[in-house]
Amino acid sequence: MKTNRIALWCALPALLLLIVAGHALGQGQVQSKTLADIAILEDERAVDTVKVGQWIVSGDPEVRARTAYLIGIVGDTAYRASLVRLLDDDAKLVRLQAVFAAGQLGDSVYTQWLLRYSADGDSAIKSRAIEALSKVGSQATTKQLIAILSDTLERPHFRALAAESIHRLRDRYSFGALVAQATNPDAGIREKVFFSLARRANAQALPFYVTGLKDANNQIRIYSLNALTRVADKSALTEIMPLLQTDDWRVKYYCLGVADKLKARELLPQITALLNPKEHVYVRQAAIRVLGDLVDQQALDRLTPFLDDADINLSTEALAAIARLRKDEALPQIRTWSKSDIPQERAAAATACGSVVSSERWSILGALSSDGTPTVRAAAYENLLSAQSDSIKNLFTTPALMDSDIIPIVLACDRIARDTLIMELNNLQIRYEGTRDNDIKAAILDCLFAFGDSLNGKPAVKEMVTAALADDNYSIRKRASTLAAMLKMPVTTANDHYPTAITPESYRLIYASDSPNPVAEISTAKGTIRIELLRNAAPKTVANFIKLAKSGFYDKRVWHRVVPDFVIQDGCPRGDGWGGPGYEIRCEYNDLPYNTGSVGMATSGKDTGGSQYFICQSPQPQLNGRYTLFGNVIEGMDVVERIEIGDLIKSVKIIEPKE
């Protein structure tokens, strides 16, 4: 049969397109499968040098970049050679991620690459290398950071970044370099210099802190005040007095911190004036606290009315202050509050007992240690287990250990570890065997580390560790493995790792989204906060947050933690910071900076996140690369600045891009 050549030539372009499209589709499927495999290994925190060895020579730069991230987040030295290869990669995308990983690992083996890239012509790579240098903290990296900061021909952006990064160092040479730049005419450089000077507060820099109080840059004034709270010198008081009358609540708040540190009774009239209802609530709370610390009996008349204030945070702060002022004379009020119907007042009564001398406090605390509300029992045990009397501590250690709530148990474990109470080992074993709660198991296992070699030959310990090695929870098995190694017990979990729910199918849902970011709309008693959720920066964390929000997990919760000019925190079902969703998620550290409005995942250590998150009220560079940043406030920062402990979260709604 003859072929129609004209028809063949007409059909050839279409045929070629089909072949190319099919090849591209196949390549895309291969890439997606490989990226899913990387994500799975990363989520497991597992070590597989064979797979990683294949991925670092992949022809796809995205695969190599994701492998660099995996190496940085897993943190195992078995991957050193692989990261070295990626640091020399031809693709900028890969080098960027490899430099970030090297910084996260803080391993001096990567110093030569970080030094080279900190002088690179590419702005992005140079910026990342400068920050990474401070995490290594060797003599060579410190010298390079000082050189960048001191170089007048260097771009201000890099000098400012070097100044900010130096806060992680602790040598006198880098501190001297900061002091030398404290009067730099560039406000951006100067601000970062004062940030690091505040983080490394030192009496040698006192004149600069005092000078910083007059700086036109308000953030520099705040950093200077922050430093002065740690450098106690009354010569700063004359400069602080006028600042107590500024319009900025942050400046007033930090001024109160300095006054408290210096026990500055000279400022009593100005501090008392800050109790005015027109002042920011954070300032009023701080003023109440300082008046209690200054032990000025004249302040008592101003504080007493706050006991009946509608704001529970002001009233409980007032009771604590009055107890410090009046000692045993405050007992009638403490006694009344200890029987209140309001749990916060009973907890405040327990806390106030710490300022009382009378032995009656032990009976009040003993009664509150049996309270039906966990936070009240926790406040009571806090005082009971830190008493100077061993007989009091011994009386309440075992009851606290056998409590049904995690906080008394942790307090008991802390006391047992602190005083190395070997006689409590059997009770620890009983408590361990009687619980399914992983937090309780973890607290008990962590307690055992304090005993060291004295645990050898103790049957109770061996039985606990053996049971923990076979636990369903990886975090428990991980602790047990470390204990077993310390006790020279056989360990059979060398290839153990976290379980993961990521599959090739779920990978596409979590990671492979090119659509605009969703928005979380948080409706609170003080107003609405809108947060853009950053899928590309922290895909698993965002997916987890969305899942919890859509399930109603965050609805009708309260803001349980507020640290003025630092963070507000939510996501605890208990309302006290000790709760979570019943599982843990892995951290997704990234290179995004913590600025005002940044949203991060709260943890108690690497890979212990779950449902709690925080919102920054101001820039917090010290958090960079240490907590998973997964969102930014795009509306409602004024609400964030008004939130108090206990404020209600009515609902959290997820608005997808199409909405």
Mark whether 24 and 120 lie in a shared domain.
yes
Mark whether 466 and 555 lie in a shared domain.
no
Q: Could you tell me if 572 and 635 are in contact, meaning their C-beta atoms sit under 8 angstroms apart?
A: no
pLDDT at 313 over 70: yes
pLDDT at 25 over 50: no
Mark whether 610 and 545 lie in a shared domain.
yes
Name the burial class of residue 416, with classes exposed (0-12), middle (13-18) and buried (19+) by CB atoms within 10 angstroms of its CB. Answer: buried
Q: What percent of the chain has pLDDT over 70?
A: 95
The residue among 107, 136, 165 that closes a domain is 136
pLDDT at 15 over 60: no
Mark whether 436 and 403 lie in a shared domain.
yes
pLDDT at 214 over 70: yes
Confidence (pTM): 0.93
pLDDT at 92 over 90: yes
Confidence of residue 315 (pLDDT cuts 50, 70, 90): very high
Confidence of residue 121 (pLDDT cuts 50, 70, 90): confident
Task: Extract the runs of DSSP E, i.e. beta strands, from 269-335.
Answer: none
Residue 40 domain flag? yes
The residue among 73, 101, 136 that closes a domain is 136
Average pLDDT over residues 461-489: 94
pLDDT at 372 over 80: yes
pLDDT at 12 over 60: no
Residue 568 domain flag? yes
CATH at 64: 1.25.10.10
Residue 292 domain flag? no
Per the structure, the count of domains in the chain is: 3
Residue 393 domain flag? yes
Euclidean distance between CA atoms 454 and 467, whole angstroms = 20
pLDDT at 6 over 80: no
pLDDT at 7 over 60: no
More confident residue, 298 or 430: 430
Degrees to nearest 5, angle at CA 74 with 38 and 625: 110
As a whole number, the mean pLDDT across the chain is 93
Of 231-235, 473-477, 567-571, the one with minimum mean pLDDT is: 231-235
At 226 the three-state DSSP class reads helix
Mark whether 41 and 86 lie in a shared domain.
yes
Tell me the pLDDT tens digit for each residue of 505-516.
899 989 967 789
Buried b (16+ CB within 10 A) or exposed e, 517-529: bbbbbbbbebeeb
Confidence of residue 491 (pLDDT cuts 50, 70, 90): confident
Mark whether 630 and 547 lie in a shared domain.
yes
pLDDT at 23 over 70: no
Mark whether 518 and 650 lie in a shared domain.
yes
Tell me the pLDDT tens digit for each residue of 334-355.
999 999 999 999 999 999 999 9
Name the burial class of residue 231, with classes exposed (0-12), middle (13-18) and buried (19+) by CB atoms within 10 angstroms of its CB. Answer: middle
pLDDT at 8 over 60: no
Mark whether 537 and 476 lie in a shared domain.
no
Residue 142 domain flag? no
At 497 the three-state DSSP class reads coil
Mark whether 438 and 564 lie in a shared domain.
no
Mark whether 519 and 418 lie in a shared domain.
no
The residue among 71, 103, 136 that closes a domain is 136
Q: Could you tell me if 81 and 110 are in contact, meaning their C-beta atoms sit under 8 angstroms apart?
A: no
Tell me the pLDDT tens digit for each residue of 35-79.
999 999 999 999 999 999 999 999 999 999 999 999 999 999 999
Residue 369 domain flag? no
Residue 454 domain flag? yes
pLDDT at 1 over 50: no
Residue 203 domain flag? no
Euclidean distance between CA atoms 235 and 254, whole angstroms = 16
CATH at 598: 2.40.100.10
Beta bridge mates, 532 = 519, 632
Mark whether 640 and 542 lie in a shared domain.
yes
Instruction: Supply the range of the domain harboring residue 561.
Output: 513-655
Average pLDDT over residues 624-643: 98
- Based on DSSP, count helices (H) and strands (E) in the chain, helices before strands: 32, 9
pLDDT of residue 27: 57
Mark whether 517 and 449 lie in a shared domain.
no
